[in-house]
Amino acid sequence: MTDSGNPGQNPAPGYYYAAGDPPGTVRQWDGTQWIGDPMPAPPGASGMVEHAPPFASLGIRVGAWFIDAVILIILSAIGLLAFGDVDTTDSSFSATGGAEQILLGLVFTAIYIALIAVKGGTPGKLMLGLAITTEDGATTPPGAQKAIMRSLPYIVLNIPILGFIVLLVSLIASLIMISSDNERRSVFDRIGNTRVIAK
């Protein structure tokens, strides 16, 4: 939620614009959460009504996913070289050791979740000026519980084969949902009750 004049802090109870609500509306804020439905802003309430932050477009979200994937690939390669059982015999290269790969995956997933919970975004999203908020737009970062929930497909990714299928289906479904949903919410947003906005 925007607090009209004191960014980053929750405002006093009152009527404010809630991100995601129709423009020109306000909703009651009790100091900790939204109450009731949006209603037309009363005359002279322009100081309380702010434009909704734009929901992140499909293109910029794909860009953020790409940056995250590149970072993950680089870190995974470094991790496997440092901790994996690397076989370079016969002029070939292979990294063995499924346990090391799963452990690295769990570590990277934990870092990913922590970044969402504390910073409100993954490295790719933060680099491109995106923020993950709660569903009502009241809070960014969204906190640990929502960060874990929206990351479930990535957590499942650590299960060999099945995890890759789940993540692939989630990404494809997200592409369709973001391109067809007015609020551009992905599978991850629906699971975690979050939104991604352009700051």
Model-level pTM?
0.68
In this prediction, residue 28 carries a pLDDT of 74
Q: Do 80 and 14 belong to one domain?
A: no
Is the domain of 34 the same as that of 106? no
Measure the CA–CA gap between 191 and 78, rounded to whole angstroms. Answer: 31
Regarding whether 112 and 23 lie in a shared domain, the answer is no
Tell me how far the alpha carbon of residue 144 is from its chain's centroid: 12
Instruction: Kindly state whether residues 85 and 132 are assigned to the same domain.
Output: yes
- The DSSP 8-state label assigned to residue 90 in this structure reads G
Q: Does residue 114 share a domain with residue 27?
A: no
Name residues of the chain where pLDDT drops below 70: 1-12, 31, 41-53, 83-98, 137-138
Question: In angstroms, what CA-CA distances link 89 with 44, 46, 93, 96, 98?
Answer: 76, 71, 7, 13, 19
